[in-house]
Amino acid sequence: MRLVFLGAPGTGKGTMASVMAKQLQIPHISTGDLFRLHLANKTELGTLAESYMKDGKLVPDDVTVGMVRERLKEDDAQKGFIFDGFPRTIEQGKALDAMLQEMNLSLDAVVDLVVPEEELFRRITTRRVCKDCGQIYNTETLKPKVEGVCDTCGGELIQRADDNAETLRKRLDVYTEQTAPLIDFYEEKKLLLSFDNHNKMGSGVDEILDLVEKHRQA
Ligand code: ADP
Ligand code: ZN
């Protein structure tokens, strides 16, 4: 299975991709997580990425594409993958096409998660993440068993630096200008599946897999 999750920040891409990837036993490749990992490890790439991320801007395409190219070469990605947060520009979409073509592979589907904008603000400002394993929580809808502590690894739950109302507004503008054009891009390639992810945090995985299966057979 080779899937891409599209969708604005806060639509639930990360949660959905993570649950689905575990279920299918394929890697969940989140470019945001990869950048945050670099940042935590204080690599050169991490420092560069941070200068964009803190303002809600996109990391330059060549940097992002280079990182994804390396990730796709790893063994675990050979049996499939779920991309979350990549591609985010038409340029990245074209680069992904080229990479897959080189590997003689193609995407099964691109899933666009749709949530009303006012809901995005609520979700993002109540979102918490595990600082060690990246698992996503929510102070209203997806509470850990012990407040502030990750159920999976015991790590501390923190709020991402860019999960505030001001940066989110910028990320939404960036999404509309640079990422939303990918909806048409993938529609034209007959890969686009749209999924209403309102009030469905974490429970839509099987519904989406059904949609993908129907799409593959069509
Ligand atoms: P969200 O989808 O909630 O905005 P992500 O974790 O996917 O969060 O991304 C956080 C930040 O990481 C983005 O605002 C951007 O700065 C950077 N980033 C992530 N993926 C990409 C990408 N494909 N291209 C450029 N920048 C990216
Ligand atoms: Zn954890």
As to burial, measured by CB atoms within 10 angstroms (0-12 exposed, 13-18 middle, 19+ buried), residue 188 is exposed
171 catalytic residue (yes or no) = yes
Domain count across the chain? 1
> Do 186 and 6 contact (CB within 8 A), yes or no?
yes
Span from the CA of 83 to the centroid of ligand 2 (angstroms): 20
2 catalytic residue (yes or no) = no
Would the pTM count as exceeding 0.85? yes
Ligand 1, CB within 6 Å, residue ranges: 9, 31-32, 35, 52-53, 56-59, 64, 85-86, 88, 92, 162, 171
Phi and psi for 11 in degrees, rounded to 5? Answer: -80, -10
pLDDT in tens, 191-206: 999 999 987 655 689 9
- The reply to whether 166 falls in a domain is no
pLDDT in tens, 164-180: 989 999 999 999 999 99
Residue 47 tokens, joined? 């420092």
Q: Which CATH number belongs to the domain containing residue 72 in this structure?
A: 3.40.50.300
Atom 6, ligand 1: residue with shortest CA distance = 32
> Do 35 and 59 contact (CB within 8 A), yes or no?
yes
Q: Which domain holds residue 77?
A: 2-115+178-217
> Do 84 and 14 contact (CB within 8 A), yes or no?
yes
